[in-house]
Structure formats: structure tokens, C-alpha cells
Homo-oligomer: A and B are copies of this chain.
């Protein structure tokens, strides 16, 4: 929550208008990065906040700094989710819940997806949060395997791939049916059970052919 980087270095508080604008920038960045991904420019973010570019660059020395400030806490949320899931009694449910909730969390935020799966951005706090996540996910996976819910050949390192796969569906269908990833994840999770029963009920109907076509027209590689 503290705005300044140094360890207990309050410097001088920002002027009231400056502080307000700083918040505006962060809010705008959240929305614009969320919709357009990290390729969005600081110009876009500034204008969407109703400010000039100079104002943004005065507050955040570079795009990387802004990204860092934006996404550190969002990554934290995902870590918290994993910690919370570990408290659940049924290990398979814990794994499934974490998967649903973490993807839910980044489903509406393209920037967060990119931060999570790429190392091109976020080298400071973001990277730390990623590191914190590793043992948590490992535990979630190992416990779910031991309990006989998760197939034994699943590896913790398969989770990023899972996020990748669902992320690609989110991107592909976002313009047409932004919730369709739930359908895909349900199928995918059916494939992860150690002792699968009947296929689970899919939470969403399939796309129509015209919707597929529209998705293909909107999506760019």
C-alpha cells in the first residue's frame, strides 16, 4: 500500500492533485492493460485517464515500473488463493478450487495473464510472488495426487500449461463469449482425475459456427 519504494523513506507526500492523478493512472492502467494486454502504450493509459503522457512519466519512470506497481499485488492475490486452498480438507477439491479461482481472477485481465506466463515483464516484486507460488502449487498438486483425486502422472509444472491453454481460449473467445473458457476447463479437469467417473456437466453451451467464425475474425496471432 505504501507508494514509495525505499524502506521507510516517506520523502515528501505528493501534492493532493498529484496523488489523485497517481490513482487515476493506476486505475486507468488496470483497465487498459486488462483489456489490451501489456502491449498497451503509456499514451493510451494516460489519455484513458484524461491526463497527458508527461504526467504518467513523471510518476512512473518507465512502463516497466508501472507494470511492476500494477501487478505485484494482483500476483499476491493469486498466492493468497493458493494458501487459502491449502487449508481445505479435500485435497482434490482444493486443487480444483484453486484452479477455477485463479483463472477466474485473471480471466478478465489480459495483462495479468501475460505477466504470469512470461518473464519479459515484472522482474522485481512480481518475480518474488511467482517464486512464492511454486511451493504452494507443488503442495496442492502433491496432496491431490496422494489423496487419489488427481492423476498420479500430473506434475506441478503442468499447471502453467493449464493456465496457458485456458488463457488462449479466453483470448480467442473474448470478443464473442468471454465465459467459454469454463466449458474448456471443465473438460480439461475431467481429464485430470485419477479415477474418472461420468463426464461432468459442462457449465456453458458450445459456440455456434457463426460465433467460431467471428472469433477467428477478431483474433490476431
Interface residues, chain A, CB within 8 Å of chain B? Answer: 37-39, 113-114, 117-120, 134, 151, 153-155, 157-158, 160-161, 164-169, 172-173, 180, 183-184, 187-199, 201-202, 206-209, 211-213, 215-217, 219-221
Task: Say how many copies of this protein the assembly contains.
Answer: 2
User: What CA separation (Å) do A220 and B119 show in the bound complex?
Assistant: 8
Q: Are B202 and A153 in contact (CB under 8 A)?
A: yes
Contacts of A201 in B (CB 8 A): 153
Contacts of A211 in B (CB 8 A): 157
In the complex, the chain B residue whose C-beta lies closest to that of A195 is B198
Q: Are A155 and B207 in contact (CB under 8 A)?
A: yes
Q: Are B188 and A199 in contact (CB under 8 A)?
A: no
Q: Are B184 and A190 in contact (CB under 8 A)?
A: no
A164-B160 contact in complex given A120-B220, A196-B199, C-beta closer than 8 Å: no
Q: Are B169 and A161 in contact (CB under 8 A)?
A: yes
Contacts of A113 in B (CB 8 A): 221
